[in-house]
């Protein structure tokens, strides 16, 4: 255990040192944030020391860049020989901007050809 004594006796400096220790140990931001939220709960609810929660900081999660296909890659993807069902699913997914799970759950009854609409449930 990091502190070596009861958490009820922890100080603001102890919490700061623990978060620095986590960071230096290479622990990821999501895990650090999870432990900060858990400590806030322990101090506020269990130990009735809500003031201690303000000494715990949340670490910003790094943004992830999305992979964007070039026009050539999209063309190759659509002109590649695929089974008819796969080709239709890929065309619907890209044309309507659907996620994989939304395309996988489509049924023939979800297609309104007269009004050119797709019904997406639980999108």
Over residues 45-81, the pLDDT tens digits come to 999 999 998 899 999 988 888 888 898 988 887 777 7
Rounded mean pLDDT, 82-97: 80
Beta bridge partners of 118: 111
Q: What is the pLDDT of residues 22-36, one digit of tens each?
A: 999 999 999 999 999
Q: Are residues 76 and 51 in the same domain?
A: no
Q: Are residues 77 and 38 in the same domain?
A: no
Q: Are residues 19 and 50 in the same domain?
A: yes
Q: Which residues of 54-87 are buried (b: 16+ CB within 10 A; e: fewer)?
A: ebbeebeeeeeeeeeeeeeeeeeeeeeeeeeeee
User: What's the pLDDT at 1?
Assistant: 64
Comparing CA positions, the residue from 69, 99, 104, 108 lying closest to residue 78 is: 69
Q: Structural domain of residue 46, as residue ranges?
A: 7-55
| Residue 2 maps to a domain | no
pLDDT over 90 (residue 113): no
| Residue 98 maps to a domain | yes
User: What's the pLDDT at 117?
Assistant: 85
Contacts 24+ apart (CB under 8 A), 46-54: 47/7, 47/8, 49/8, 52/10, 52/12, 52/15
Percent of the chain beyond pLDDT 90?
A: 35
Query: What is the SS3 assignment for 61-121?
Result: CCCCCCCCCCHHHHHHHHHCCCCHHHHHHHHHHHHHCCCHHHHHCCCHHHEECCCCEECCC
The answer, as to whether pTM is greater than 0.85, is no
Of 103 and 37, which is predicted with more confidence? 37
Residue 25 DSSP one-character state = T
Q: Are residues 46 and 75 in the same domain?
A: no
| Residue 51 maps to a domain | yes
Q: How many domains does the chain have?
A: 2
């Amino acid at each position: 255990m990091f502190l070596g004594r009861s958490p009820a006796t922890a100080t603001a400096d102890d919490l700061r040192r623990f978060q620095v220790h986590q960071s230096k140990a290479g622990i990821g931001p999501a895990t650090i944030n999870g432990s900060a939220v858990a400590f806030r709960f322990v101090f506020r609810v269990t130990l009735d020391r809500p003031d201690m929660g303000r000494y715990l900081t949340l670490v910003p999660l790094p943004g992830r860049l999305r992979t964007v296909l070039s026009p050539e890659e999209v063309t190759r993807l659509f002109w590649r020989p695929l089974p008819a069902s796969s080709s239709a699913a890929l065309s619907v997914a890209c044309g309507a901007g659907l996620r994989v799970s939304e395309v996988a759950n489509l049924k023939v009854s979800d297609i309104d050809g007269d009004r050119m609409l797709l019904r997406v449930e639980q999108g």
